[in-house]
Amino acid sequence: MERQIKKTNLPELNVGVVGHIDHGKTTLLSKLSGKFTDTHSEELKRGITIKLGYADIIIYNDKGHYNTKKGTPERYISFIDAPGHEMLMATMLSGAAIIDAAILVIAANEGIKPQTKEHFTALQAKKIKNIIIVQNKIDLVSKEQAIKNYKEIKEFVKGTIAENSQIIPASAQQEINIDKILEELCKLEIPKRDTTSEPIFLIARSFDINKPGTKISEIKGGVLGGILKKGKLKIGDEVEIKPGINIKKANQQVYEKITTKIVSLHKGVQSLKEIGPGASISIETSLDPILTKADFLTGCILSKKNILPEITHKLKIKYELFNEVLGLAESQKKKVDPIKAHEMLMLNINTTITIGIVEQIKGNELTLLLNIPIVALKGENVGIARNISNHWRLIGFGEILQ
Ligand code: GDP
Ligand code: MG
């Protein structure tokens, strides 16, 4: 019991795992969350945490040896699973919106690649200062190659927020230095959490946890997964979700907010009465699960009733462009052309992705008309991507003005 209480009070951190294709992100994540199989079966029974709980771990310190099984519990970590290398830049950015820290995986045998640069720039632009660099696949290189690669990484991060980040040589596959990475995760600074403002919950996932054939009387309401950025939420709270659902009204597509009630709250395998900002959580609502099925509400924001601003199709931002288009191979290097009137851009705001047509450009300010309306919160970071040869490429960042 005492241990349980301790566990619920652990410092919490949301950590993203990023890096180039095949550099070992998924392998590393599975090794870091070593107890995956047990958690999995337990969660299968519980149903509710299956999607989010997957990569939640508690790090223990066993007389200086960091692990996920025994010793004194030190930290609760929610890994935000980067959905593989195919990962769209937009998905990466949505993920970056909800992380406090990141592990940048660089394979020692390949070094810095286009996606390494792209992801790293996105982390910088999202002002993620807590970065651990894992020099992976160390088992594949000679000592000389490892040193050369280490120097290359040092050069890459010179003058950036990651200048003094730890670079941990490791082999995810051979399980070398996994404990060192866990130890480093315990050293990262925990950001200050704002528990007094009105709640802002960013929906990163939504799902229906009922198995086919569940009796009507036993059907669970729709479940939302994501991050409480600030404030508190408790069981019984009447809440509002915006932009909500897209419906047809008088031949027009409009968005209508959804109101519901919090039925239960979960963090990993724990059920809680009240939750403050920290690790990933899941919220069971009284909504018809049809509404939350298959990530239907991903990108929406939840708060208490009458707190969120009206949704808007018009967005005004101040922006900055990168010099170079990110994510391209060295041979395809390309400068970023200025933004033009009427051009179509993809925007990422929190966990939302929308398309905007440029209506007006004035100095470093842009006004855009959005195809999907958003909840525009002043000061929020906006990722700007342009379609270049059929790929959305990150070209700059902005901030919502109002
Ligand atoms: P991701 O695309 O970054 O998620 O990379 P994966 O985790 O899918 O790994 C890509 C390939 O590299 C897989 O075949 C892994 O087994 C392999 N791999 C991952 N880590 C290591 C490592 O440390 N050493 C070696 N030799 N192979 C690794
Ligand atoms: Mg992967």
Highest CATH level, class, for 312-400: mainly beta
| Mutate-to-test residue for ligand 1 from 21, 23, 27, highest number of ligand atoms within 8 A of CB | 27
User: What is the share, in percent, of the chain residues with pLDDT greater than 70?
Assistant: 89
- Taking alpha carbons only, the member of 379, 368, 249, 385 closest to residue 314 is 368
Q: Whose CA is nearest to atom 18 of ligand 1?
A: 24
Specify the residue with its C-alpha closest to ligand 1, atom 25: 137
* Fold equal for 2-187 and 312-400: no
Closest ligand by atom to 139 CA: 1
What per-residue confidence (pLDDT) applies to 88?
53
Amino acid of residue 102:
A
Q: How far is CA 357 from CA 132, 167, 402, in A?
A: 37, 41, 18
Residue bearing tokens 């919502």: 400
26 CA from centroid of ligand 1 (Å): 7
pLDDT digits (tens, 9 = 90+) for 74-98: 999 988 765 443 345 566 666 677 8
Q: What is the pLDDT of residues 207-231, one digit of tens each?
A: 888 888 889 889 999 999 899 999 9
Band of residue 45 on the pLDDT scale cut at 50, 70, 90: very low
* pLDDT confidence bin for 21, thresholds 50/70/90: confident
Tell me which DSSP letter residue 11 carries.
-
Cβ–Cβ under 8 Å, residues 224 and 302: yes
Q: Which amino acid is at 160?
A: T
Q: Where are the domains of the chain?
A: 2-187, 200-304, 312-400
CB–CB of 202/298 below 8 Å? no
For residue 58, which phi and psi values (nearest 5 degrees)?
-110, 130
pLDDT, residue 268, reads 80
Ligand 1 neighbourhood includes 69 CB (under 6 angstroms): no
Q: Report percent pLDDT > 90 for the chain.
A: 61
Any atom of ligand 1 within 6 Å of the Cβ of 210? no
Q: Which ligand is nearest to the CA of 24?
A: 1
Q: What ligand is nearest to the CA atom of residue 115? A: 1
Q: Please tell me the CATH superfamily of domain 2-187, with its number.
A: P-loop containing nucleotide triphosphate hydrolases (3.40.50.300)
Can you give the pTM of this predicted structure?
0.88
DSSP single-letter state for residue 176: B
Ligand 2 midpoint to CA 22 (Å): 7
- The structure tokens listed for 106 are 């660089």
97-141: pLDDT as tens digits: 788 999 999 999 999 998 898 889 888 888 898 999 999 999 999
Answer whether CATH 3.30.2040.10 is correct for domain 200-304: no
Which residue's CA is the nearest one to ligand 1's atom 11? 22
